[in-house]
Amino acid sequence: MDMKPDLSVKIGDLELKNPVMMASGTFGYGEEYSGVIDLEKLGAIVVKAVTVNPTLGNRPPRIWEVTGGMLNSIGLQNEGLEYFIEKKVPFLRELNVPIIVNIAGSTVKEYKDLAVRLNEIPEISAFEINISCPNVKEGGMQFGTDPKWTNTVVKNVCDVTKKTVITKLSPNVTDVVKIAEAARDGGSDAVSLVNTFKAMAIDVKKRRPVLSTVTGGLSGPCIKPIAVRMVWEVASKLGIPVIGMGGIANAEDALEFMIAGATAVQIGTMTFVDPVTGMNVISGIEKYLREEIIKSLKL
């Protein structure tokens, strides 16, 4: 008899039916894709970054396609905390799928304030602390490139919530393991990596950078081999779950991350190319487990 493989995984107190999450920043608030895929078949949804106050983000042009990926410099544009609670949470609370809120701030206090306020909403399953965005002037990557600041931000969030806490790490560091260890020591239940790589492109006709901010974040299939290496480095040292991301386009890509040590994965840029990428990755992982006669991802 053909046994259905067990795709479930655990991240902190978070039980996921499968290891495939939709990454923050490329999936909106889930509702935008609700007419295209069955959201409840996903392992989890990580919503677009939420800040305390509305943020306009950077001025255009702020997206540029490059070979094997894309550059973006959105700058965490969003309508702010209260708008998210009033306008976005009602849809999310009706879903039978874990909702993870990506939180971002320019000060330690803002991260803590976000956690305090969002902690009141039972339908929010976890927080993903964004200390890795390369496209903001204050906070973000400034906290994520210094172990002491990483530890401080994470500790302040963990002090005010019992929800699962994930820390999203930047690849733009000399030693990502040290940052991951600082997040773990601050109380983070897991880490997710990698966010985008700081990069730039030039318009040779105009002889100037294509993005208004000069540099932006590089994502897409072109970063996958570096992301897999960094996930392997962290997973082999950390002792808490690692969520891998960076250029996942199919099930084989996701499996690379998991064989490297990731407990779960997130899919980002490829959602723009094909909105059903997440569904295909889930079915592809299940097919692989059947073929390899692997009963559970927990083994």
CA atoms within 13 A on the CB side of 262: 27
Question: What is the greatest pairwise CA distance in the chain?
Answer: 64
CA distance 238 to 39: 31
Cβ burial, residue 57 (10 Å; 0-12/13-18/19+): middle
Q: Are 201 and 66 in contact (CB under 8 A)?
A: yes
- Residue 101 main-chain phi, psi, to 5 deg: -100, 120
**Among residues 21, 104, 133, 264, which one is catalytic?**
133
CA distance 119 to 123: 9
The answer to whether 254 and 23 are in contact (CB under 8 A) is no
Tell me if residue 133 is catalytic.
yes
Chain center to CA of 30:
14
Q: Which residues are catalytic?
A: 133
